[in-house]
Amino acid sequence: MAYTTVDVAANSPLRVSYGSPTNPSFLFARYGFMDDSCPATFCKIMDIPKTPDNVDVGLDPIKMLFYHDTGDISEEVLDVVLYAKVLGNVKYHPDAPTFKNQFYQAHMSGDLATKQAIHEQFRYETLGEVKKHVDSFLKNLDDLEGKSDGKSFDEHPRLPLILAHNEFVRQTFQNVKTNLDAFLGDSEQSGSDQWGQDNSQWVQDEGQWGQDDGQWGQEEGQWGQDSGQWGQEEQWA
C-alpha cells in the first residue's frame, strides 16, 4: 500500500523518482544501471566549501551541470566558480575586495546587469578555472580506466557498466573542453573577449534544472555515494 502527500486524481499514474535526471552517476552507483539519455551531468567540482553564500550563488550538483551533446556549461557553474574561486582570490586590482560582495548582492537582488558586467571583466579567469578542472578530471578518468586493462569481464561483471559510465562522462567533459579550448585560444590570440552574444552559446537559462529538492548534500546529488565511489574495491579490484 502506498500513501501520497498530496491529492492525486483518480486513474492518474503514480511514478517513483530514482534520482536526478542530470546525475547519471548516482543512478549508476545506487541502482546499477547507466542512463545514457541524460542531457547533462554534474560538473564534479567538489573543492568549493558548502557555505551559505556559496549555496545562495548556486552551489548545487543538480544545477551545476555540463551538457553532454553541446558541451554547454550551466550558469550556476560559472557563477559559483567566479564567486568562490576567482573573486575570492583576486589581489591585483585595487577594487577587488568589493567585487565579491557586489556580485553576491547583484545575484541576490536579481541585478543581471551588474552580474553580467563582473562576469565579462573576469570571463577569462573564470573559464580558465573551469578548464583546469576539466583537464584534471579527464586525466583522472584516463588513470582510472588504465586500472581495467587486463581485467576479465567474467570475473568483474560490473566492469562493462563502469566503463560505459566513464565513457559518458568523458564525452561530456571532452565536449566542454573543446569549447573551452576554442574560446581561451581565441582570447589569447586576439586579446579580446569572444564569449558570444548574451551568453546563449555557453549557458542554459537559470533555473532550468533548479529543482528545489536539489540542495547540496542531498543523497541524490552527492558524487560518490555507496558503491559508486571511484576508489571502491568492487569497481577496480
The pLDDT of residue 4 is 79
- The C-alpha atoms of residue 215 and residue 94 are separated, in whole angstroms, by 35
Mean pLDDT of 16-29: 76
The pLDDT of residue 46 is 93
Whether 222 has a pLDDT exceeding 80, the answer reads no
Mean pLDDT of the chain: 78
Among 38, 41, 76, residue whose Cα is nearest residue 60: 76
The pLDDT of residue 220 is 36
CB 91 within 8 A of CB 79: no
Q: Which residue has the higher pLDDT, 100 or 226?
A: 100
Mean pLDDT of 110-118: 96
Three-state DSSP string of the chain: CCCCCCCCCCCCCCCCCCCCCCCHHHHHHHHCCCCCCCCEEECCCCCCCCCHHHHHHCCCCCCCEEECCCCCECHHHHHHHHHHHHCCCCCCCCCHHHHHHHHHHHHHHCCHHHHHHHHHHCHHHHHHHHHHHHHHHHHHHHHHHHCCCCCCCCCCCCHHHHHHHHHHHHHHHHHHHHHHHHHHHHHHHHCCCCCCHHHCCCCCCCCCCCCCCCCCCCHHHCCCCHHHCCCCHHHHC
How many beta carbons lie within 10 A of that of residue 170, not counting itself? 16
The pLDDT of residue 150 is 75
Q: What is the dihedral of CA 117, 122, 124, 130, to 10 degrees?
A: -110
- The C-alpha atoms of residue 146 and residue 28 are separated, in whole angstroms, by 20
